[in-house]
Structure 1
Amino acid sequence: MDFDFSGPHSGAMETFESLVRTEFAPKNTYLNTASNGLLPARTVTALHEAAMLRAEGRPLTSLYEDVEACRAAYARLAGVPVTRVAIGASVAAHTGVIAASLPAGAEVLTAEDDFTSVLNPFHVRGDLKVRAVPLERIAEAVRPDTALVAVSAAQSADGRIADLPALREAARTHGARTYVDFSQSAGWLPMDVDAYDFSASVSFKWLLGPHGGAFLVVPEDFGGLTPVLAGWVAAEQPWDSCYGPVAELAHSARRFDLTHALFTFAGLRRSLDLIEELGVAAVQAHDLALADRFRAGLAALGHEPMPAPGSAIVSVPGLGHRQPELGRADIQVSNRAGNLRAAFHLYNTAADVDRLLDVLSG
């Protein structure tokens, strides 16, 4: 595999390259992280070890320790205290908790065609005013009667990045709260989570974890949320709260936890370790260099991608129909609404970009 890293520090490049070589050996040209990230070797090992604990009837104590290690690692990536991080299984479930907290008639401002998980729970309430505007206009569309603005930091369909600082200021001006889904950016784009009221992310894309894990970040005062999905793990003393109503909810964001998918977090712990070892800034530089290489190659072929500067996701209108052909050539990309979507992450190389361009050139 021909790795092509650029940057001023050769020692850092060697460390990045050696870690990636150790952890990944894709059998194809995999450019589909926006759908699923590849699992590092250390994660696969941890998943196997966790499964063997169950298979052999041994205690699962270490798996609960993995859950808390993941909570702490995500808190570090997000730049917030660990007491603000809740653990669940999906962004949709976290969105549902936020939707349940809003009074009837409240206005929720969203971006047009954003990912369903960050939108649908507000729509199914039936008594909220959900307003959708183009992503580029979302900050200017906040108004005095807007209760909440909900948006993805990076759009799943085309990689466009929301102007979150402008959105934050507009929301503050009008007294609205903010909810940001970092699923398509956590792991390659630095997060300023503390700047927003609520945020969430899945773990199986750019964070390189298995399916079944998600994080929710809430304010220290919980932002008026009610833990409507709370079970025994949401108690201050979980093992003393297995029967009957929970007498005392956790004093931290753990009150919003859902029953933990233990195998998932056993693996995810090692994936998050890798992200931290490499550093989000280094991953971002690597990913964007490849995305820009692809954009330049597309221009040479006469194709114009969707405008998404600074994004690791590149979406090309009119080329989605070529996804099956690319699949037959062992190049994994996505067809999203007729657009060809390629997503570049730490295990990708310049050779991957060039191979995709070569096939597209016919």
Structure 2
Amino acid sequence: MTPSSTELLSPADFRDLFPALDRWAWFDTPGSPPAAAPVAMALRGALADWERGDFAWRDWDAAVDAARDAFARFAGVGSERVAVLGSVAEGMSTIARALPPGSVVVGDCEYRSMLYPLLALDQRRNPVIRVPSVDGAVTEDGLLSALRDDTVLVAVSDTLTSTGRRVDLQRLRTVTAERGVRVAADLTQSLGVLAHDLSSLGLDYVLVHGYKWLLCPRGAAWLIVPEDRPADLAPLLPSWKSTDPPYGYFGGDLELPPTASRLDTSPAWFSWIGAVAALGLRERLDPQDVERHCVGLASRFASEVADIGIASVVAASDSHIAVVELGDSAGRVGRGLEAAGVKATLLGSRLRIGVHYFNNHDDIDRLVAAVRDATTRRRSR
């Protein structure tokens, strides 16, 4: 969804909604972003109401469907295709349990919430083909080369934070569709910053946890299922949320609705109260502007550190995540970043940064200066 121009937030307006940015240049959104003020306010309000007893639990519960509808609008799909879950692992386990016999293709470096539900399958019925990675990245070519005549699913994260490389989902989907192979894609590390057109991609399953780029509290996740096949899937954890009407508690039979809500898991209410506020904020950003801004800043960082001899692990000029190799300077860089008020993640000898719409050129200046200072001091010894 693209809001009207009168509703749009500029990068500066968006940045003003994050109090933590008064102190930090925040590049650790691949781990977790700081709280946006409207999201924190919604949670504080719910906590205050809870403490005073001025709440109705059904109002809290209504936030779940409100978040489902807001996410569906943002993703450009119908609400009937969206299940609300607590994690990506729940969604991937739901998909895995419903697979017909046949092999499954996945990268050997895939995120564990995607990988482990597949490894838990009966390997005689659904053998897992693990595609070797190069420098922590798997390519669409690697995944496609591993397809067999019996392959029933390819599972992949569109962006892995170990390298920042993006998989070409359109090419992957075109080839797999020709061969009748389903695709499950985890967009947790990109939806909210990269402008996906899910309707044109035609992915079978899309999984997203909202606590990163969508700015939600942890515990708000979604699974998008095929429009014509929600009944192919059964709930992983059948509960009071699995049936219609939603407020039946005792006795009865398990009668699943025909929509993706049949897969809903019992919600942690505060996660969804925060998710409603976060998605309302996200609807005030233009997806194309966000992608251009974030990819541009990440590319600038990679280019400037390359000028001082620090190479990117993977050349990923189209990504909002950059990972560079620091070698034996990693410890000094880590200390320098902390002293400079920069939040980023060290992965062994590598530095990972992720750029959101709230980051700006001053943040990049601060980051590059800290890296340059730490590495230059080493060389001058």
Cα drift, residue 179 of structure 1: 0.1
CA distance in 1, matches of 2:46, 2:74: 25
Which residue of structure 2 lines up, in the alignment, with residue 5 of structure 1? Answer: none
Count of paired positions: 351
Task: Sort the Cα spacing of 1:48 and 1:14 in 2 relative to 1 into closer, same or farther, 3 A.
Answer: closer
**AA matched with 1:268:** A
Q: How does 1:28-47 map to 2 (within 5 A)?
A: 28-47=24-43
Name which of 160, 168, 176 aligns with 1:163: 168
Whole-angstrom CA distance in 2 between matches of 1:11 and 1:288: 25
Kept in 2, the 8 Å contact 1:139–1:166? The answer is no
User: Which region of structure 1 is more displaced relative to structure 2, 223-232 or 248-257?
Assistant: 223-232
Residue 337 (structure 1) shift:
4.7
In structure 2, C-alpha distance between the alignment counterparts of 1:14 and 1:245, rounded to whole Å: 49
Matched, 1:98 2:95: yes
Does structure 2 retain, via aligned residues, the 8 Å contact 1:115–1:156? no
Taking a change above 3 Å as real, the CA distance of residues 246 and 356 of structure 1, as seen in their structure-2 partners, is farther
Trace 1:309-324 onto structure 2 (pairs within 5 A). Answer: 309-319=317-327, 320-321=330-331, 322-324=333-335
Which residue in 1 is equivalent to 2:368? 357
Matched residue of 2:356: which SS? Answer: coil
CA distance in 2, matches of 1:256, 1:14: 34
Displacement of 1:203 after TM fit? 0.7
Once the two structures are superposed, what CA deviation does each residue of 1:273-315 show, in whole Å capped at 9, x if it has no partner? 1111012222112111210110111111111112222110000
How far apart are 1:250 and its partner, in Å?
A: 2.4
In the alignment, the residues of structure 1 paired with residue 72 and residue 224 of structure 2 have an alpha-carbon distance, to the nearest angstrom, of 9
2:15: which partner in 1? Answer: 20
What SS does structure 1 have at the residue aligned with 2:165? Answer: coil
8 Å Cα contact 1:37-1:209 kept in structure 2: no
Counterpart of 2:83 in structure 1: which amino acid? A
Query: How far did residue 141 of structure 1 move?
Result: 3.0
CA 14–75 in structure 1, closer or farther in 2 if over 3 Å, else same: closer
Aligned AA (1:80): V
Q: Distance in 1 between matches of 2:281 and 2:253?
A: 36
TM-score (structure 2 length as normaliser): 0.87
RMSD between aligned residues: 2.1
> Would the alpha carbon gap of residues 361 and 202 (structure 1) be closer, same or farther in structure 2, given more than 3 Å must change?
same
| Contact in 2 for aligned 1:54/1:60 (Cα 8 Å) | no
Deviation at 1:271, TM superposition (A): 1.0
CA-CA distance at 1:325 after TM superposition: 4.0
Measure, in 1, the Cα distance between the counterparts of 2:195 and 2:251. 42
Indicate the residue corresponding to 1:283 in structure 2. Answer: 290
The Cα offsets for residues 165-210 of structure 1, whole Å up to 9 and x where unpaired, read as 1110111121111100000001011223341111101011000111
Task: Please give the TM-score of this superposition, normalised by the length of structure 1.
Answer: 0.91
For 2:72 and 2:254, the matched residues in 1 are separated by 27
**Contact 2:207/2:223 (<8 A) preserved:** yes
Q: Which residue of 1 aligns with 2:352?
A: 341
Distance 1:142 1:38 in 2: 40
Match of 1:332 in 2: 343
Moved over 4 A (4+): 10-14
Preserved CA contact (<8 Å) 1:140 1:170: no
* Secondary structure at the counterpart of residue 351 of structure 1: helix
Choose from 144, 149, 153 the match for 2:158: 153
Write out aligned runs for 1:251-262 (5 A). 251-262=258-269
Q: For the residues of structure 2 that align with 1:148 and 1:335, how far apart are their CA atoms? A: 33
Correspondence for 1:138: 143
Secondary structure at 2:171 match in 1: helix
Counterpart contact for 1:326–1:332, Cα < 8 Å: yes
The one-letter code of the counterpart of 1:197 is: D
User: Cα distance, 1:92 vs. partner?
Assistant: 0.7
Question: Could you tell me how far 1:158 is from its partner in structure 2?
Answer: 1.4
Question: Relative to structure 2, which stretch is displaced further, 126-135 or 14-23?
Answer: 14-23
One-letter identity of the residue aligned with 1:280 = P
CA distance in 2, matches of 1:100, 1:338: 38
